[in-house]
Structure 1
Amino acid sequence: MQWWSRLRWEAAAIRRSALRAVRGPGSERNTLVQSLKAAAAAVLAWAVTGWWWGAPMALMAPWAAVALVQSTVYRSLVSAVQQVAVIGFGAVLAAGAAAATGNTTVAMALVLPVTVLLGNWTRFGTQGLYAPTTALFVLAYGSTSFADVAHRLLETLIGALIGIGVNALVLPPVHLKDVRAHLDRLPRETAELLRAMASGMEHGYERADAERWYDRARSLHATIAALHEARGWTRESYRFNPGRRLRRRGPALPPSERDSAWERATHHLMSLTRLLADAAGGSPSLRPPHSDALEPLGEVLRRAAEVCVPEPVPVTVPAPGPGGTGTQERRADALPDAWGAHGRLKALVTSEDPETATSLGGVVAETQQLLYALEPGGTPS
C-alpha cells in the first residue's frame, strides 16, 4: 500500500497548490485569473472567426487573443499595436516575396532573415516573434493573394479586440497587493534585524554575527527594489483601466513618500553591519569599539526596532477607534529614548584613542542617519 500513500500525498500537495493559487498572494491569484481570461478570450475569438464567420485561417484570431490578455490593460493595448504591426509586416513581406519569386523556398530564404531580425528588435518586445511566424504561415499555406493577406490582418484584428476587451472588462487587473505586502514586510524585517543586532551587543558580537546581519540587510535592499517594481506595475495597471473606479473596497494604494526613507534606512543598515563586521574578527581592518560602547549601541538598536512600524494606510472605510493609534504612540515614545541612547554613544567618541574613535565614529554616524530615516517624515540624509 506504499504506492497508495504516495498517491494520497501527491494529491494533497496538488490540492494545497491549487488553494494557494486561489486564496494566496495577489501575484498567484492574478496569474490564475489572467490565465483563465486568456483561455476564455481564445475560445471566444475562435467561436467568432472559426465557427460563426468561417474564416479561412481562423487560428489567427485566438492566437492573437490569448497573447493580448496581458498583466495590465495598458500593456494589452501597447502589445496589440505591436502585434498587428509585425503581423501585417510579415504577411505583406511574405506575399510580396512569393509573388516576386514564384517559389516558396526562395521566398522563405529572402523573408525570414528580415522578419527574424525585426522579431529580435527590442522595441517590439515579445510581440516581435509574430513577424517570422506569420510569414511562415503565409508561405507554408500558400495564402499570398491580397485577399488572403487582408483576411489574416482582419482575423488578427478581431482576436486583438477580443483579447483587449476580455482583459479590460472581465476583472481588469489592478496590482495593489504587492505594494502593500512589501511595505508591511520592510518594517517587520527591519525591526527583527535591529532586535537581533541589539541582542548581539549584550554579550559582545563576533564577525560571523555581523556577516549574517549584513546578509539580512542586503535582503532588505532587494525588498526595496521589489517595492519600486511593484509601484511601477501599479501605476501601469491604472492606465486605461475601466475597473479602477470599481475597486474602492479596502485600503487604497499606500503613498510613496516613505519609500525613499526606507531606502535610506536600508542603505545605512548595510553600511552599519558592514562596518561592524570589519571591526571584528581575528585581523580587523578597524579596531572594534570597546565593550562600554556596546550597551548604548544595543539600546539605540533596540529602540530603533520599536520605531519600525507599518505606515498608516489610507482606507475607504471608517477609521478605527482610539485603540488603533497605540502603535504610533509607542513609536513616538521610542524615538526620544533612541536619541538619548545615541547621545550617550556619541559622547564616548571623544574619550577613545584615535583608532577606536575611528570605528566608533563610523557607528555613531550610521546610527544617526538610520534614526533620521526612521523618523516620521523621513528627514533626508
Structure 2
Amino acid sequence: MKSTLTRLKPRLRHPGRYQVVQSLKAAAAAIIAWALTGWWLAAPMALMAPWAAVALVQGTVYRSVRTAGQLVLMISTGTLLAAGAAALTGNTMIAMVIVLPLTALLGNVAPVGGQGLYASTTALFVLAYGSYSGPAVGHRLLETLVGAAVGVAVNAVVLPPVHSQHVGGLAAALPRDSARLLRDIAEGLEDYDTPRAQQWHQSAKDLLAALSELYVGRGWDSESFRLNPGHRLRRWTPAPSTDWDPVWARVANRLLALTLTLWEAASEDRGLPRPPVSALDELGRVLSAAAEACEACRSIMVDGAVDEEGQDRRNAALAEAFRALAAVKDQMNGRGPDAGAALGSLVADCQALLDDLTPNEGDADVGVLRPRV
C-alpha cells in the first residue's frame, strides 16, 4: 500500500480554488435537490433530483443550461420508452431486451455528447425498480426537472465560473517557460551531452502542449461569459490578448527545431558534428538575450502598452541578440560542409526566433506583436 501511494503521489495534483468551489457547489446542489424532492415533496424516487443536480454544475453557466436540456431529453426518453415497453410486454426481461438496444443507439447517435448515457441508465432504473406506472413516470420526470433547475440555478447564482484568471496564468506561463528553457540551453551549450539535449527537446514539446491547453482555455473563457448573470459583479482580470498566441506558437516551434539540431549534433548515431566551441559560446549569448526578450514580452503582455520599461528592455535584449548572432555568422566562413550544416541550422533557427520576438514596424509603441505573414 505504501509503495502504491508513493507511485501515485507525483500524479496527484493539489486542487485549485476553482475545483474546490465547483465541488462544493455540486454537493450543495445535490443536497438542495434531495431536500426538495425527498423531504418536502416526499417523492418515491428522489434519487433522480440530486443525480441531475450534480451533473449540471458544469464549468460554465452556458454549458449547464445546454446540458440541462440534453439531460432532461435523454432521461425523459429513457423513462418513457422503458415504461411503454414494460406496459406492453408485462415482463421486465423482455422489456429490457427491447428498450436497451434502442436507448444505447439513441445515446450514441443523438447530438447530446456524454448525456446520451442517461437514456440507457434511466431505462434500467425504471425497469429494475418496477416504477413504470403513470404516477411513477410523472414523479421521475418532475424530480429530473427539479434537479436540473437546482443545478443550473446554483451554478449561475453562487460564484458563476469565469475562466479569465486561468487563461491568464496559462498565457503568462508560455514566455516564462520559454525564457527558462533558453537560459538552460545557453548555460549548457559548451559541454552538453545527449541526455541533456534530449531533455531540452522534451521541454520544447511541453511548450507546444501548454499552447494547446491555452487554446482550449480560451474557448472556456469565451464561453464562461455567455448566460452568466454574475460576471459583471465579480472582480476578474482579463487574459492577455490573443495576438500573442501565434507568437508563442512560433517561438515554441523554433525551440523544437533548435533543440532537435542540438540533440542530433550530440548523438553518436548521427553524422552531424557538434559546432565549434567558439560558435557555441556566441550562440549562448544569443539565447541568453532571447530569454531576456521573452521575459520582457511577458511583462508587456500583462501590462499592455503602458509598460514602456518592458518595451525598452525587450528592444535592448533583441539588439544584443542580433549582435551576438552576427558574430556567429562571421564564424561560418571556412567551415567544412558538415560542421557548416549544423551551425547553419542553428543560426537559421535563432534568426527566425529573434524575428518572431521583434514587433512589426509601427507596433513597438503599443507593445503588441503581430503575426508575421
TM range (shorter): 0.7 to 0.9
| Identity level (%) | 50
Structure 1 residue 137: Cα displacement: 2.3
Q: Supply the RMSD in Å over aligned alpha carbons.
A: 2.6
Asked if structure 1 preserves the Cα contact closer than 8 Å seen for 2:107 and 2:116, the reply is: yes
Gaps of 5+ in 1: 1-16, 22-27
Alpha-carbon distance in structure 2 between the residues aligned to 1:250 and 1:168:
16
Asked if structure 2 preserves the Cα contact closer than 8 Å seen for 1:252 and 1:314, the reply is: no
Alpha-carbon distance in structure 1 between the residues aligned to 2:192 and 2:116:
55
Which secondary structure does the structure 1 equivalent of 2:76 belong to? helix
Q: Which amino acid aligns with 1:206?
A: D
Asked if structure 1 preserves the Cα contact closer than 8 Å seen for 2:300 and 2:310, the reply is: no
Structure 2 residue 12 is the aligned partner of structure 1 residue 58: no
Query: Aligned pair count?
Result: 353
Structure 2 residue 81 is the aligned partner of structure 1 residue 81: no
Structure 2 residue 372 is the aligned partner of structure 1 residue 380: yes
Go from structure 1 to structure 2 and tell me whether the alpha carbon gap of 1:122 and 1:334 turns closer, same or farther (over 3 Å shift).
farther
1:244 aligned partner: 231
Alpha-carbon distance in structure 2 between the residues aligned to 1:104 and 1:221:
53
Q: 1:68 aligns with which of 47, 50, 56?
A: 56
Which secondary structure does the structure 1 equivalent of 2:112 belong to? helix
2:5 aligned partner: none
Asked if structure 2 preserves the Cα contact closer than 8 Å seen for 1:251 and 1:315, the reply is: no
Structure 2 residue 197 is the aligned partner of structure 1 residue 210: yes
Go from structure 1 to structure 2 and tell me whether the alpha carbon gap of 1:250 and 1:223 turns closer, same or farther (over 3 Å shift).
same
Alpha-carbon distance in structure 1 between the residues aligned to 2:200 and 2:128:
61
1:296 aligned partner: 282
- What TM-score do the two structures reach when normalised by structure 1? 0.85
Structure 2 residue 160 is the aligned partner of structure 1 residue 172: yes
After superposition, residues 1-381 of structure 1 pair within 5 angstroms as: 21=15, 28-121=16-109, 123-201=111-189, 203-247=190-234, 249=235, 251-309=237-295, 310-313=298-301, 325-376=308-359, 377-378=369-370, 380=372
Which secondary structure does the structure 2 equivalent of 1:245 belong to? coil
Alpha-carbon distance in structure 2 between the residues aligned to 1:227 and 1:41:
30
Which secondary structure does the structure 2 equivalent of 1:292 belong to? helix
89-98 or 119-128: bigger deviation: 119-128
Structure 1 residue 120: Cα displacement: 4.2
Alpha-carbon distance in structure 2 between the residues aligned to 1:108 and 1:200:
67
Structure 1 residue 345: Cα displacement: 1.7
Alpha-carbon distance in structure 2 between the residues aligned to 1:295 and 1:358:
18
2:9 aligned partner: none
Asked if structure 1 preserves the Cα contact closer than 8 Å seen for 2:54 and 2:151, the reply is: yes
Structure 1 residue 235: Cα displacement: 1.6
Structure 1 residue 245: Cα displacement: 1.2
Structure 1 residue 265: Cα displacement: 0.4
Asked if structure 1 preserves the Cα contact closer than 8 Å seen for 2:225 and 2:231, the reply is: yes
Gaps of 5+ in 2: 1-11, 360-368
Alpha-carbon distance in structure 1 between the residues aligned to 2:180 and 2:84:
66
Alpha-carbon distance in structure 1 between the residues aligned to 2:261 and 2:110:
42
Structure 1 residue 347: Cα displacement: 3.1
Alpha-carbon distance in structure 2 between the residues aligned to 1:365 and 1:314:
30
Following superposition, which runs of at least 4 residues in structure 1 exceed 6 angstroms of deviation? none
Alpha-carbon distance in structure 1 between the residues aligned to 2:327 and 2:301:
35
Alpha-carbon distance in structure 1 between the residues aligned to 2:110 and 2:87:
30
